[in-house]
Amino acid sequence: MKFILYIIFSIFTLNTTAQCTDIFGATVECPTENDSLVVYNNALKVYEFYEKSPNYTKLKTQRLRTRQDVVNCFYLLQDAVDSFQMRWQLRERVLRGEDLQNVLLPRDGKNIPISKYYQYIDANRFYQRELESGILNITSPFPIYDNRIAPLIINSYENRHSTDDYNGDFVNIALYIPVTVKPFRLLSDSEKIIRQNILDGIIPRKAIANPIKSRPVKKVKRVIEDTTLLESAAIDYKPPVIIKVSGLTGPPSNGIPLYYQMDYGGGWLMGWMVGRKFRKFLPTDEFYWSLPAWLKDFLNNDKELEKYLKIKFGGYYDGIYN
Protein backbone atom coordinates (compact mmCIF):
# COMPACT_ATOMS: atom_id res chain seq x y z
CA MET A 1 0.00 0.00 0.00
CA LYS A 2 1.27 3.45 -0.85
CA PHE A 3 2.75 5.65 1.81
CA ILE A 4 0.25 8.26 2.96
CA LEU A 5 1.53 11.64 4.05
CA TYR A 6 -0.10 12.46 7.37
CA ILE A 7 -0.21 16.22 7.16
CA ILE A 8 -3.17 18.50 7.60
CA PHE A 9 -5.51 17.50 4.77
CA SER A 10 -4.71 13.84 4.20
CA ILE A 11 -6.94 12.90 7.15
CA PHE A 12 -10.02 14.02 5.25
CA THR A 13 -10.42 10.97 3.04
CA LEU A 14 -7.96 8.22 3.98
CA ASN A 15 -9.14 4.76 3.05
CA THR A 16 -7.84 1.37 1.99
CA THR A 17 -7.83 2.29 -1.71
CA ALA A 18 -5.09 4.90 -1.15
CA GLN A 19 -7.26 7.72 -2.48
CA CYS A 20 -6.88 11.22 -1.09
CA THR A 21 -8.15 14.66 -1.99
CA ASP A 22 -6.02 17.48 -3.30
CA ILE A 23 -6.32 20.91 -1.73
CA PHE A 24 -9.24 21.75 -4.05
CA GLY A 25 -11.24 18.70 -2.89
CA ALA A 26 -10.76 16.56 -6.01
CA THR A 27 -10.07 12.83 -5.55
CA VAL A 28 -6.46 11.95 -6.40
CA GLU A 29 -3.94 9.21 -5.71
CA CYS A 30 -2.18 9.75 -2.41
CA PRO A 31 1.39 11.08 -2.59
CA THR A 32 4.02 8.34 -2.44
CA GLU A 33 7.13 8.36 -0.28
CA ASN A 34 9.13 9.55 -3.29
CA ASP A 35 6.62 12.36 -3.83
CA SER A 36 7.15 13.58 -0.28
CA LEU A 37 10.93 13.21 -0.65
CA VAL A 38 10.85 15.49 -3.69
CA VAL A 39 8.96 18.12 -1.70
CA TYR A 40 11.18 17.63 1.37
CA ASN A 41 14.49 17.96 -0.51
CA ASN A 42 13.26 21.01 -2.34
CA ALA A 43 11.78 22.60 0.80
CA LEU A 44 15.08 22.13 2.63
CA LYS A 45 16.97 24.04 -0.06
CA VAL A 46 14.42 26.85 -0.35
CA TYR A 47 13.82 27.26 3.38
CA GLU A 48 17.53 27.32 4.22
CA PHE A 49 18.32 29.73 1.37
CA TYR A 50 16.06 32.47 2.73
CA GLU A 51 16.44 31.70 6.44
CA LYS A 52 20.25 31.58 6.38
CA SER A 53 21.03 34.09 3.65
CA PRO A 54 22.90 37.14 5.04
CA ASN A 55 21.30 39.25 2.29
CA TYR A 56 17.62 38.52 3.05
CA THR A 57 15.77 39.67 6.16
CA LYS A 58 12.51 38.00 7.21
CA LEU A 59 9.69 40.51 7.65
CA LYS A 60 6.72 38.36 8.66
CA THR A 61 5.21 34.87 8.69
CA GLN A 62 1.60 33.98 7.94
CA ARG A 63 0.40 30.53 9.06
CA LEU A 64 -1.94 28.63 6.75
CA ARG A 65 -4.22 27.02 9.31
CA THR A 66 -7.25 25.87 7.32
CA ARG A 67 -7.97 24.23 4.02
CA GLN A 68 -9.45 27.49 2.72
CA ASP A 69 -6.21 29.29 3.63
CA VAL A 70 -4.29 26.85 1.44
CA VAL A 71 -6.80 27.05 -1.42
CA ASN A 72 -6.47 30.84 -1.36
CA CYS A 73 -2.68 30.47 -1.36
CA PHE A 74 -2.80 28.31 -4.51
CA TYR A 75 -5.12 30.83 -6.18
CA LEU A 76 -2.58 33.55 -5.35
CA LEU A 77 0.13 31.42 -6.97
CA GLN A 78 -1.98 31.09 -10.11
CA ASP A 79 -2.71 34.84 -10.14
CA ALA A 80 1.03 35.49 -9.82
CA VAL A 81 1.70 33.41 -12.95
CA ASP A 82 -0.90 35.46 -14.83
CA SER A 83 0.79 38.67 -13.67
CA PHE A 84 4.25 37.43 -14.64
CA GLN A 85 3.05 36.41 -18.11
CA MET A 86 1.52 39.85 -18.58
CA ARG A 87 4.77 41.52 -17.50
CA TRP A 88 6.71 39.24 -19.84
CA GLN A 89 4.53 40.27 -22.76
CA LEU A 90 4.94 43.97 -21.93
CA ARG A 91 8.72 43.59 -21.68
CA GLU A 92 8.76 41.87 -25.06
CA ARG A 93 6.91 44.83 -26.57
CA VAL A 94 9.42 47.27 -25.06
CA LEU A 95 12.32 45.20 -26.42
CA ARG A 96 10.68 45.38 -29.85
CA GLY A 97 10.78 49.18 -29.65
CA GLU A 98 7.39 50.20 -28.25
CA ASP A 99 7.41 53.15 -25.86
CA LEU A 100 5.42 51.88 -22.88
CA GLN A 101 5.24 53.67 -19.55
CA ASN A 102 5.95 51.98 -16.20
CA VAL A 103 7.52 48.89 -17.78
CA LEU A 104 10.92 48.09 -16.29
CA LEU A 105 13.42 45.68 -17.79
CA PRO A 106 15.85 43.62 -15.68
CA ARG A 107 19.24 45.24 -15.12
CA ASP A 108 20.86 43.25 -17.93
CA GLY A 109 18.27 44.62 -20.37
CA LYS A 110 16.90 41.17 -21.22
CA ASN A 111 13.53 39.60 -20.62
CA ILE A 112 13.28 36.76 -18.09
CA PRO A 113 11.92 33.57 -19.72
CA ILE A 114 8.62 32.35 -18.27
CA SER A 115 10.30 28.99 -17.57
CA LYS A 116 12.58 30.77 -15.08
CA TYR A 117 9.51 31.70 -13.06
CA TYR A 118 7.10 28.79 -13.59
CA GLN A 119 7.45 25.21 -14.84
CA TYR A 120 4.70 22.63 -15.18
CA ILE A 121 5.50 19.07 -14.03
CA ASP A 122 2.23 17.15 -13.99
CA ALA A 123 -1.40 17.47 -12.87
CA ASN A 124 -0.32 17.68 -9.22
CA ARG A 125 3.02 19.47 -9.23
CA PHE A 126 4.68 22.59 -10.55
CA TYR A 127 7.70 24.80 -9.90
CA GLN A 128 7.12 28.47 -9.12
CA ARG A 129 9.49 30.95 -7.56
CA GLU A 130 7.28 33.23 -5.45
CA LEU A 131 4.20 35.45 -5.32
CA GLU A 132 6.14 38.56 -6.40
CA SER A 133 7.94 39.12 -9.68
CA GLY A 134 9.01 42.78 -9.69
CA ILE A 135 12.60 41.76 -8.99
CA LEU A 136 13.22 38.06 -9.58
CA ASN A 137 16.23 36.29 -8.05
CA ILE A 138 16.72 33.43 -10.49
CA THR A 139 19.77 32.22 -8.53
CA SER A 140 17.54 31.13 -5.64
CA PRO A 141 16.35 27.50 -5.38
CA PHE A 142 13.28 26.85 -7.54
CA PRO A 143 10.40 25.94 -5.14
CA ILE A 144 8.17 22.97 -5.99
CA TYR A 145 4.49 22.76 -5.02
CA ASP A 146 2.31 19.66 -4.85
CA ASN A 147 -1.44 20.27 -4.63
CA ARG A 148 -1.83 17.10 -2.54
CA ILE A 149 0.49 18.43 0.16
CA ALA A 150 -0.34 21.67 1.96
CA PRO A 151 2.34 24.31 2.58
CA LEU A 152 2.24 25.65 6.14
CA ILE A 153 3.37 29.25 5.90
CA ILE A 154 3.76 32.29 3.66
CA ASN A 155 6.94 34.16 4.53
CA SER A 156 7.99 37.63 3.42
CA TYR A 157 11.67 38.55 3.01
CA GLU A 158 13.54 41.59 1.72
CA ASN A 159 17.05 41.83 0.34
CA ARG A 160 18.63 44.73 2.21
CA HIS A 161 22.24 44.11 1.19
CA SER A 162 23.37 47.28 -0.57
CA THR A 163 26.06 45.58 -2.67
CA ASP A 164 23.98 42.57 -3.73
CA ASP A 165 22.70 42.38 -7.31
CA TYR A 166 19.21 41.74 -5.93
CA ASN A 167 19.17 44.58 -3.40
CA GLY A 168 15.57 45.68 -2.94
CA ASP A 169 14.12 42.29 -3.86
CA PHE A 170 10.86 41.74 -1.93
CA VAL A 171 9.93 38.07 -1.67
CA ASN A 172 6.50 36.75 -0.67
CA ILE A 173 6.74 32.97 -0.76
CA ALA A 174 4.63 29.96 0.30
CA LEU A 175 6.81 27.44 2.11
CA TYR A 176 6.77 23.86 3.29
CA ILE A 177 8.63 23.57 6.60
CA PRO A 178 11.00 20.68 5.74
CA VAL A 179 10.49 18.51 8.81
CA THR A 180 6.69 18.49 8.29
CA VAL A 181 6.94 16.93 4.82
CA LYS A 182 9.78 14.49 5.43
CA PRO A 183 8.54 10.84 5.25
CA PHE A 184 7.63 9.80 8.78
CA ARG A 185 9.76 6.63 8.82
CA LEU A 186 12.85 8.73 8.06
CA LEU A 187 12.34 11.14 10.96
CA SER A 188 14.69 11.02 13.92
CA ASP A 189 13.20 11.07 17.42
CA SER A 190 14.06 14.75 17.83
CA GLU A 191 12.54 15.58 14.42
CA LYS A 192 9.30 13.83 15.42
CA ILE A 193 9.07 16.10 18.46
CA ILE A 194 9.82 19.23 16.41
CA ARG A 195 7.29 18.17 13.77
CA GLN A 196 4.56 17.62 16.36
CA ASN A 197 5.28 20.96 18.02
CA ILE A 198 4.91 22.72 14.66
CA LEU A 199 1.67 20.96 13.75
CA ASP A 200 0.07 21.33 17.20
CA GLY A 201 -2.86 23.69 17.10
CA ILE A 202 -3.55 23.26 13.39
CA ILE A 203 -7.06 21.81 13.24
CA PRO A 204 -8.35 21.29 9.71
CA ARG A 205 -11.91 22.29 9.00
CA LYS A 206 -14.34 19.60 7.95
CA ALA A 207 -14.04 18.75 4.25
CA ILE A 208 -16.54 20.72 2.24
CA ALA A 209 -19.22 18.77 0.37
CA ASN A 210 -18.61 20.31 -3.06
CA PRO A 211 -15.01 20.32 -4.31
CA ILE A 212 -13.51 23.75 -5.02
CA LYS A 213 -12.91 23.87 -8.75
CA SER A 214 -9.29 24.34 -9.71
CA ARG A 215 -8.47 26.66 -12.56
CA PRO A 216 -6.63 25.13 -15.56
CA VAL A 217 -2.96 24.45 -14.92
CA LYS A 218 -0.56 26.28 -17.22
CA LYS A 219 1.87 23.91 -18.92
CA VAL A 220 5.39 25.04 -19.72
CA LYS A 221 7.68 22.03 -19.59
CA ARG A 222 8.49 19.00 -17.49
CA VAL A 223 11.50 19.09 -15.18
CA ILE A 224 13.64 16.41 -13.59
CA GLU A 225 12.57 15.18 -10.17
CA ASP A 226 15.06 14.84 -7.33
CA THR A 227 14.24 11.96 -4.99
CA THR A 228 17.70 11.54 -3.44
CA LEU A 229 17.46 12.06 0.31
CA LEU A 230 19.58 14.94 1.52
CA GLU A 231 21.26 14.88 4.89
CA SER A 232 18.99 16.49 7.43
CA ALA A 233 20.04 19.98 8.41
CA ALA A 234 19.21 21.84 11.57
CA ILE A 235 15.48 22.48 11.29
CA ASP A 236 14.76 24.00 14.67
CA TYR A 237 11.55 25.94 14.22
CA LYS A 238 11.34 29.35 15.86
CA PRO A 239 8.01 31.17 16.14
CA PRO A 240 7.94 34.22 13.84
CA VAL A 241 8.60 37.62 15.35
CA ILE A 242 5.57 39.86 14.81
CA ILE A 243 6.62 43.45 14.30
CA LYS A 244 4.55 45.96 16.30
CA VAL A 245 4.30 49.48 14.96
CA SER A 246 2.70 52.26 17.02
CA GLY A 247 0.83 49.77 19.16
CA LEU A 248 -0.67 47.90 16.19
CA THR A 249 0.20 44.29 15.42
CA GLY A 250 0.14 43.74 11.71
CA PRO A 251 -0.47 42.49 9.24
CA PRO A 252 -3.19 40.19 10.61
CA SER A 253 -1.91 36.62 10.85
CA ASN A 254 -5.25 35.27 9.63
CA GLY A 255 -5.65 37.80 6.84
CA ILE A 256 -5.75 37.02 3.11
CA PRO A 257 -3.69 39.56 1.08
CA LEU A 258 -5.83 41.73 -1.21
CA TYR A 259 -4.21 43.42 -4.19
CA TYR A 260 -5.41 46.35 -6.29
CA GLN A 261 -5.17 44.84 -9.76
CA MET A 262 -3.62 46.98 -12.47
CA ASP A 263 -4.83 47.04 -16.08
CA TYR A 264 -1.37 46.08 -17.34
CA GLY A 265 -1.04 43.14 -14.96
CA GLY A 266 0.27 42.75 -11.43
CA GLY A 267 -1.06 44.74 -8.54
CA TRP A 268 -0.37 46.59 -5.29
CA LEU A 269 -1.01 45.13 -1.85
CA MET A 270 -3.78 47.27 -0.36
CA GLY A 271 -4.70 45.28 2.74
CA TRP A 272 -6.09 41.99 3.99
CA MET A 273 -9.49 40.33 4.10
CA VAL A 274 -10.06 39.03 7.63
CA GLY A 275 -13.16 36.93 7.35
CA ARG A 276 -15.70 39.15 5.62
CA LYS A 277 -14.13 42.45 6.67
CA PHE A 278 -11.32 44.43 5.04
CA ARG A 279 -8.30 45.58 7.03
CA LYS A 280 -6.63 48.22 4.84
CA PHE A 281 -2.92 49.05 4.70
CA LEU A 282 -2.39 51.73 7.38
CA PRO A 283 0.26 54.48 7.64
CA THR A 284 1.53 52.72 10.77
CA ASP A 285 2.27 49.51 8.83
CA GLU A 286 5.80 48.78 7.75
CA PHE A 287 6.39 49.56 4.04
CA TYR A 288 3.29 51.77 3.78
CA TRP A 289 5.75 54.40 2.58
CA SER A 290 6.45 52.34 -0.55
CA LEU A 291 2.84 52.61 -1.81
CA PRO A 292 2.24 55.02 -4.70
CA ALA A 293 0.52 58.28 -3.77
CA TRP A 294 -2.62 57.46 -5.77
CA LEU A 295 -3.12 54.22 -3.80
CA LYS A 296 -2.67 56.00 -0.46
CA ASP A 297 -5.31 58.52 -1.54
CA PHE A 298 -7.62 55.69 -2.56
CA LEU A 299 -7.20 53.91 0.79
CA ASN A 300 -7.99 57.14 2.62
CA ASN A 301 -11.23 57.60 0.64
CA ASP A 302 -13.60 55.24 2.47
CA LYS A 303 -16.48 56.02 0.10
CA GLU A 304 -14.56 54.94 -3.02
CA LEU A 305 -12.96 52.05 -1.16
CA GLU A 306 -16.39 50.76 -0.04
CA LYS A 307 -17.67 50.97 -3.62
CA TYR A 308 -14.65 49.02 -4.91
CA LEU A 309 -14.98 46.27 -2.28
CA LYS A 310 -18.74 45.87 -2.78
CA ILE A 311 -18.20 45.41 -6.52
CA LYS A 312 -15.39 42.93 -5.90
CA PHE A 313 -17.00 40.83 -3.16
CA GLY A 314 -20.73 41.53 -3.39
CA GLY A 315 -22.77 40.42 -0.38
CA TYR A 316 -19.76 38.63 1.12
CA TYR A 317 -18.14 41.96 2.01
CA ASP A 318 -19.08 43.20 5.49
CA GLY A 319 -17.27 46.49 6.03
CA ILE A 320 -13.86 48.00 6.81
CA TYR A 321 -12.01 47.42 10.08
CA ASN A 322 -11.54 50.74 11.87
Examine the domain organization and report whether 231 and 248 are in the same domain: no
Examine the domain organization and report whether 62 and 173 are in the same domain: yes
Examine the domain organization and report whether 143 and 246 are in the same domain: no
Tell me what pLDDT residue 316 has.
67
What mean pLDDT is reported for the chain? 74
Examine the domain organization and report whether 225 and 272 are in the same domain: no
Tell me the average pLDDT across 2-11. 36
Tell me the whole-structure pTM to 2 decimals: 0.62
SS3 243: coil
**Total domain count for the chain?**
2
Indicate whether 2 belongs to any domain: no
E strand residue ranges, the chain:
19-21, 27-29, 56-63, 118-120, 125-128, 144-146, 153-159, 170-175, 244-245, 248-249, 256-261, 267-274, 277-280
| Final residue before a domain boundary, out of 197, 215, 241 | 241
Examine the domain organization and report whether 152 and 299 are in the same domain: no
Tell me what pLDDT residue 261 has.
67
| Chain centroid, CA 240 distance in Å | 16
Q: What is the tens place of the pLDDT at every residue in 250-308?
A: 556 666 777 776 654 456 778 887 777 888 888 877 667 777 888 888 898 988 888 88
Q: Which of 225, 210, 161, 216 is nearest to 31 (CA)?
A: 225
The answer for residues whose C-beta is within 8 angstroms of residue 156's C-beta and 6 or more apart is: 58, 59, 60, 61, 170, 171, 172, 173
Q: What is the tens place of the pLDDT at every residue in 192-235?
A: 888 887 777 554 443 333 444 444 445 554 444 455 544 443 33
| Final residue before a domain boundary, out of 187, 208, 241 | 241
Tell me what pLDDT residue 263 has.
52
Q: How many CB atoms lie within 10 A of CB 203?
A: 8
Q: Which of 186, 154, 195, 191 is nearest to 8 (CA)?
A: 195
Examine the domain organization and report whether 106 and 254 are in the same domain: no
Tell me what pLDDT residue 40 has.
92
Indicate whether 107 belongs to any domain: yes
Q: What is the tens place of the pLDDT at every residue in 156-165?
A: 999 888 777 7
Tell me what pLDDT residue 251 has.
58
Examine the domain organization and report whether 200 and 286 are in the same domain: no
Res. 239 pLDDT band, cuts 50 70 90 = very low
Indicate whether 156 belongs to any domain: yes
Give me the domain span that covers residue 284: 242-322
Indicate whether 123 belongs to any domain: yes
Examine the domain organization and report whether 59 and 190 are in the same domain: yes
Higher pLDDT, 149 or 97: 149
Tell me what pLDDT residue 108 has.
67
d(CA 261, CA 268): 7
| Final residue before a domain boundary, out of 241, 257, 285 | 241
Indicate whether 236 belongs to any domain: yes
Tell me what pLDDT residue 106 has.
67
